Amino acid sequence: MWRDEKAVSPVIGVILMVAITVILAAVIASFVFGLGSKAPKAAPQASLVASAYDNETKYNTIDLKGKTDLVIIEHQGGENIPWADVKVIVEGTKNKSSLTTADAENIKYVDNSNKSAWYQDEISSNEFFEPGEKLVIAFNNSAYNHFGAGDSVTIKVLHTPSNQMILSAKVAAQ
């Protein structure tokens, strides 16, 4: 009887040592292989609607420098999106354009009253694309991509910190 009881203690000790070693190895491996790092930042959840226009004059009052091929992205609700985190990709009939909010010559922002517009260099990087606002991207025939009425235009809005799409839409130019 006494012999059987003495054998239990070394067996339990060995099992505990093996368990501790396995747990430590798992923790170290998770940090080494990045499993312990933070999750990537999620893209804002927003309802965006895109449209494309050939020879549109509706926004002539906001000084688009004579450009009449427009892509308009309207924020209809959801979270605010930091302007600095927005990248717009437009694929027309001739080629593909990728614009960030730093491309002030081609991008204007229209507030929710449709009366005020400003270029990228007139806003600070901590401002947001908010519900009711519109992003107006103006193209001319020689720059970026020209499209005509009825052409299929693919418009994507990318959240750059997370590299996730907020909008991906295929629309017919009007």
Q: DSSP states of the chain as a string?
A: -HHHHHHHHHHHHHHHHHHHHHHHHHHHHHHHTTTTSPPPPPPP-EEEEEEEESS--TTGGG--TT--EEEEEEEEEES-EEGGGEEEEEE-SS-EEEEETT-TTTEEEE-TTSS-EEEGGGS-TT-EE-TT-EEEEEE-SSSS----TT-EEEEEEEETTTTEEEEEEEEE--
Please tell me the predicted confidence (pLDDT) of residue 126: 54
pLDDT at position 145: 54
pLDDT on residue 57: 58
Is 67 in the same domain as 29? no
Looking at the structure, do residues 64 and 92 belong to the same domain, yes or no?
yes
Residues 15 and 65 in one domain: no
The whole domain housing 12 covers: 1-37
pTM of structure: 0.63
**Model pLDDT, residue 21:** 97
Residue of 48, 51, 144 lying closest to 91 (CA atoms): 144
Q: Are 153 and 79 in a shared domain? A: yes
Confidence at residue 118, expressed as pLDDT on a 0 to 100 scale: 45
Looking up residue 147, the CATH number of its domain turns out to be 2.60.40
pLDDT for residue 40? 66
Cα–Cα distance for residue pair 114/16, rounded to 1 Å: 70
**Both 55 and 1 in a single domain?**
no
Q: Which residues of the chain have pLDDT under 50?
A: 61, 104-106, 112-122, 142
